[in-house]
Homo-oligomer: A and B are copies of this chain.
Amino acid sequence: MPLLRIALAQINTAVGDLSGNAEKIIHYTEMAREKDVDLITFPELSLCGYPPEDLLLKRQFLDDCRKTLEDTVTKTSGITCVVGFPEMCGASVYNAAALIHDGKLIGIYRKVLLPNYGVFDEKRYFEPGKEGFVLVLNGVPIGINICEDSWFSDGPAKVEVQKGGARLIVNISASPYYAGKLEVREDILRKLALENECFILYNNLVGGQDELIFDGGSFVLSPKGELIANSRQFDEDMLVFDLEIAEDECPDLIPTGEVRRFSIPSVATKQKQIIPEVRGRWLDYPEEVYSALVLGVRDYVRKNGFPKVLIGISGGIDSALTAAIAVDALGAEAVVGVTMPSQFSSEGTKGDARVLSDNLGIRLISISIEQVFKSYLDMLKPIFDGMAPDVTEENIQARIRGNTLMSLSNKFGWLVLTTGNKSETAVGYCTLYGDMAGGFAVIKDVPKTLVYKLAEFKNRQAGRHVIPESTIEREPSAELRPDQKDKDSLPPYDKLDAILRAYIEQDMAYTEILKMGFDEDMVKRVIKMVDKNEYKRRQGPPGIKITPKAFGKDWRLPISNQYTKLYLSSSS
């Protein structure tokens, strides 16, 4: 049986950095060649980064991609490669895979199934391909797929196997992360392996791009659906493995129009030797989520060229977790904390801000906002004369803090990380231009109950209370008026998060949520809060998606929306 050595290069690309991505592709190709690899694959659109969004509407961008590909082709002799790139052909653009053999472009496969749901807008940019592609390498027929192509039984894999004789399917992918997504992918691809009785080689992208995390975790499945090799999660990796596989059973197969076929010998020349490559089991929850957040921060900060980040440290759990993630992502010297106490700040939170910063080893700047707050109240006194204090005065404090952070950001060039969680973002328990002010919202998609789990994970992993116990145990409070507690304004977080999950992530109807056993008034109140705070979320910074539905590209609700009213009245 022929022996095929394959490398899945799970690289971290940068959107638009064509030359940087090409260099990386060439570098991995050289490493693979040294290991006698026959075939190396790279993720979907790895030449331009994923998702390039409306860069794809620029003709010059597509031209530059073509030029970069041509250049890359000439620099990858002595091996066979599959490289994702956007292909312009006349007025049409395809999400394509270049098949490169010994420094020559020998074929192009075009993605057939284009996702246009959730965070995906691929039908905005691409025409669908019409046929499968089978590359016969050293007598082994290999079907090519791009991401979504393998998600459905009647995709191109079927014709590649049935009509093109493919014995294995290579899937180059850029599949965005959410907690549990890996299992979903494995299940879908296991089904494909079993249905087609073929090997599946799944090569995912890794890295953060704005709100999306690509988690890597590339893997190989046997025709029986067994996981036989896998690569690291949340990190670059090159998974090299050997496959002994029966030879092509139909070498003289004639293409039908549904599938193209191209035969080439391998150009790898050195002595073969099986290299075992199984990295062991996947990360557990919530470590997986924590790792995603760390990668998301690291890549957003680095890809946008910031030297340091700045975090408002309140002494509460949200900012503590955000700071811990930032330190794991960037190192303590790249993280600056700012504590901005007011008359309503408790001794407990003020002390915790200091202890946390010491534990993390970060610099902590202390700035009291009391005088500025007083000067705002003086300024507004003639206008607000005789009116009772309300949320206005609370928001002023939050906005002074936001401005203070932005002033440091402007003066020193540091990126402000915001600290709001998904629960408060959902119900609008946050201040626009106040605690929402900043460039990147680290835990924007993390529900409050998961914030606690992640804080406990962090302490467990560190083997000490990096995040102070008192921070974890203190009752949550915004500390914007005397004796304020979150529970005065919101349902208990375990209930709130369960309702939010049903309403936001599962699109469940009001009546269905009621059947889960929640109080009618509570459910109505939560839904109303979610709907009416769309305007706030629309102006919030981007943040890391870790659930099946985040407030970002996969949440496109109108601001002017009268539906809530009807919905809650007609359903009760």
Contact = CB atoms under 8 A, between A and B. Distances in A.
| Main DSSP-derived SS at the A contact region | helix
A439 B15 contact: no
Contacts of A131: none
B117 A60 contact: no
Contacts of A563: 15-18, 55, 61
Contacts of A383: 365, 367, 408, 411
Interface in A418-476: 432-433, 437, 439
Q: How large is the interface on A (under 10, 10 to 19, 20 to 34, 35 or more residues)?
A: 35 or more
Interface stretch (A259-267, A272-280, A374-382): A374-382
Contacts of A197: none
Interface string A230-272: 0000000000000000000000000000000000000000000
Contacts of A368: 379
A53 B558 contact: yes
Interface string A548-572: 0000000111111111111100110
Nearest to A415: B535
A507 interface: yes
Contacts of A477: none
Contacts of A567: 60-61, 64
A404 B433 contact: no
Interface of A: 14-20, 49, 51-55, 57-61, 64, 116-117, 121, 123-124, 208-210, 299-300, 303-304, 365, 367-369, 371-372, 374-376, 378-380, 383-384, 387, 390-392, 395-396, 399-400, 402-404, 406-408, 410-411, 432-433, 437, 439, 507, 509-511, 535, 538-542, 555-567, 570-571
- Which 4 A-B residue pairs are closest in the complex by CB-CB distance? A16-B563, A17-B562, A60-B509, A392-B410
17 contacts: A17-B566, A53-B557, A54-B557, A55-B563, A58-B509, A59-B507, A64-B566, A121-B556, A208-B560, A365-B383, A371-B379, A372-B372, A391-B410, A395-B410, A399-B399, A439-B535, A539-B539
